[in-house]
């Protein structure tokens, strides 16, 4: 069976490859510590679970409005007013099966084959593949560790061509935890505005940011971009609801209308029960977030202190999300236990096989000198995992 030319270009997810290997090792009785996961380790809050259970009891189990139930749209609209003073009408909101689907729909609705989409690297693994799925062309712009993985205006200017149609800005970032200060993002948005680029603002980690950094939505930094910005966010990360699959897009009614048409012919509505649970999440008490973010910050600080003790490893301090993205390139060329470190992938293989710790190599994020370490796991796991990593990396000669 021959696959389509577009699908042939898609690369399998490195994240999934590592986690599959880690799972197989675990099922063979090897005590693997998993630092590769991209989801909060906290459970979905009780009141949210209850709302989902109640939805089942109430037989709220049929099709719903294709673009999401009015009550959930309203809960999201109210959240955006309350948290960000941004006002949207219901026809400017689309709810989908996860932020991932919202992102894809935005691209599928706006891009034509051959259009170029600027993606700053390190990037979230799915962006280039989603762009390719539409027939458009991902244009990767490498950011520097010395600029804390922030895209600089001159880098963006240099990447623009007559075919540039859109830019994806992930703030805060998966995998680096980098987050833009207001002035830094304004400089990028001004260029995007001047060139009428579609701004895909993936702000899924907007609620997970650390002391000393104040997140501001791109639409608040430059409201003039409203006619060509699509804001992406959702319930997955903030409310520990990854499996419920609820994400949303907020943007111009024409674009949202196009996305809605595609959704109507593909998945139809997001899961009815999940939508009811998400109403409880967006409308309910938000204080659990403060407690969870504080815990993430303690873990981040512990990891930063541990990594500082490993010679040859450097790391930027993440301002948001729950990942560290250390540079391990100084270890390239070293060996131990029959493994030679030529790439970040080799280091991850070595750590998995000898120290039984799963991490994701930077190759999948367009940053081959780095590895991604998720701290969405318990402090106990982090302590044990870091002891193992420290030993394995210092064994390299
Ligand atoms: C940057 C980024 N955007 C979007 C998503 C997708 O989120 P969801 O689970 O809601 O589809 C993720 C999930 O890992 C992410 O890290």
Q: What would the pLDDT profile of 87-106 be if each residue is shown by its tens digit?
A: 999 999 999 999 999 999 99
Q: Are residues 97 and 223 in the same domain?
A: yes
Q: Are residues 120 and 143 in the same domain?
A: yes
What's the domain count of the chain?
2
CATH at residue 193? 3.40.640.10
The atom number, within ligand 1, closest to the CA of 124 reads 1
Task: Give per-residue burial for 107-142: e unless 16+ CB within 10 Å, then b.
Answer: bbbbbeeebbbbbbbbbbbebbbbbbbbebbbbebe
Q: Are residues 157 and 304 in the same domain?
A: no
Note the pLDDT tens digit of each residue in 255-290: 999 999 999 999 999 999 999 999 999 999 999 899
User: CA 54: distance to chain centroid?
Assistant: 30
State residue 203's pLDDT score: 98
State residue 13's pLDDT score: 75
- State whether residue 231 is helix, strand or coil: strand
Task: Report how far residue 343's alpha carbon sits from residue 362's, in angstroms, rounded to the nearest whole number.
Answer: 9
| Average pLDDT of the chain, as a whole number | 96
Last residue of a domain, one of 234, 254, 283: 283
pLDDT band at 74 (very low <50, low <70, confident <90, very high): very high
Backbone phi, psi, residue 219, to 5°: -65, -25
DSSP-assigned letters across all residues of 352-372: IIII-EE-EEGGGGT-TTBEE
State residue 243's pLDDT score: 96
pLDDT at 38 over 90: no
Pocket test for ligand 1, best of 168, 237, 323 (most atoms within 8 A of CB): 237
Over residues 171-188, the mean pLDDT reads: 98
Q: Are residues 262 and 183 in the same domain?
A: yes
pLDDT band at 229 (very low <50, low <70, confident <90, very high): very high
Q: Is the bond into 122 cis (omega within 30 degrees of 0)?
A: yes
State residue 278's pLDDT score: 98
State residue 339's pLDDT score: 92
CATH at residue 24? 3.90.1150.10
Q: Are residues 108 and 126 in the same domain?
A: yes
Give me the residues paired with residue 140 across strands.
Answer: 119
Show the tokens assigned to 368. Answer: 């081959």
State residue 15's pLDDT score: 75
Q: Which domain holds residue 335?
A: 5-43+288-394
Over residues 110-121, the mean pLDDT reads: 98
Q: Are residues 104 and 225 in the same domain?
A: yes
Q: Are residues 293 and 222 in the same domain?
A: no
Q: Are residues 136 and 215 in the same domain?
A: yes
pLDDT band at 12 (very low <50, low <70, confident <90, very high): confident
Q: Are residues 99 and 112 in the same domain?
A: yes
pLDDT band at 39 (very low <50, low <70, confident <90, very high): confident
Q: Are residues 142 and 196 in the same domain?
A: yes
Q: How many percent of the chain have pLDDT more than 90?
A: 94
Over residues 220-237, the mean pLDDT reads: 98
Show the tokens assigned to 303. Answer: 């990891």
pLDDT at 132 over 80: yes
State residue 17's pLDDT score: 79
pLDDT band at 19 (very low <50, low <70, confident <90, very high): confident
Q: Are residues 202 and 66 in the same domain?
A: yes
Last residue of a domain, one of 268, 283, 298: 283
Show the tokens assigned to 297. Answer: 């910050």
Report the separation in Å between the CA atom of 35 and the middle of ligand 1, taken as the mean of its atom positions: 17
Over residues 364-389, the mean pLDDT reads: 96
User: Ligand 1: residues whose CB is within 6 Å?
Assistant: 38, 98-100, 124, 170, 174, 202, 204, 234, 236, 242, 247
Nearest CA to ligand 1 atom 13: 38
State residue 384's pLDDT score: 97
Last residue of a domain, one of 283, 317, 343: 283
State residue 11's pLDDT score: 83
């Amino acid at each position: 069976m021959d696959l389509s030319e577009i699908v042939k270009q898609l690369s399998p997810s490195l994240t999934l490859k590592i986690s599959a290997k880690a799972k197989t090792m675990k099922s063979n009785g090897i005590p693997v510590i998993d630092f590769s996961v991209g989801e909060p380790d906290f459970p979905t809050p009780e009141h949210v679970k209850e709302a989902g259970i109640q939805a089942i009891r109430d037989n709220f189990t049929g099709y719903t409005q294709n673009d999401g139930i009015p009550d959930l749209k309203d809960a999201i609209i109210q959240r955006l007013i309350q948290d960000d003073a941004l006002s949207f009408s219901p026809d400017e909101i689309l709810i989908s099966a996860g932020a991932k689907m919202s992102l894809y729909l935005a691209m599928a609705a706006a891009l034509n084959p051959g259009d170029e989409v600027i993606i700053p690297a390190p990037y979230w693994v799915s962006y280039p593949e989603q762009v390719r799925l539409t027939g458009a062309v991902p244009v990767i712009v490498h950011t520097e560790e010395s600029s804390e993985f922030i895209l600089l205006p001159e880098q963006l200017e240099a990447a623009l061509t007559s075919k540039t149609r859109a830019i994806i800005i992930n703030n805060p970032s998966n995998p680096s935890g980098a987050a833009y200060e207001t002035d830094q993002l304004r400089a990028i948005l001004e260029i995007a505005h001047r060139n009428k680029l579609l701004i895909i603002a993936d702000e899924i980690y907007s609620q997970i940011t650390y002391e000393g950094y104040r997140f501001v939505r791109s639409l608040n930094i430059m409201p003039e971009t409203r006619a060509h910005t699509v804001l992406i966010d959702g319930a997955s990360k903030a409310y520990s609801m990854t499996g419920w699959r609820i994400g949303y897009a907020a943007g111009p009614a024409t674009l949202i209308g196009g996305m809605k048409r595609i959704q109507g012919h593909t998945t139809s509505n997001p899961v009815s029960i999940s939508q009811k649970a998400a109403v409880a999440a967006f409308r309910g008490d938000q204080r659990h977030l403060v407690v969870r973010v504080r815990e993430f910050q303690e873990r981040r600080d512990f990891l930063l202190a541990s990594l500082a003790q490993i010679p040859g490893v450097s790391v930027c301090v993440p301002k948001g999300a729950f990942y560290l993205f250390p540079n391990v390139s100084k270890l390239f060329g070293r060996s131990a236990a029959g493994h030679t470190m030529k790439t970040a992938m080799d280091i991850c293989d070595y750590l998995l096989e000898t120290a039984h710790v799963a991490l994701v190599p930077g190759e999948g994020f367009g940053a081959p000198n780095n590895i991604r370490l998720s701290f969405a796991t318990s402090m106990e796991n982090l302590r044990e995992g870091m002891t193992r990593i420290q030993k394995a990396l210092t064994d390299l000669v």
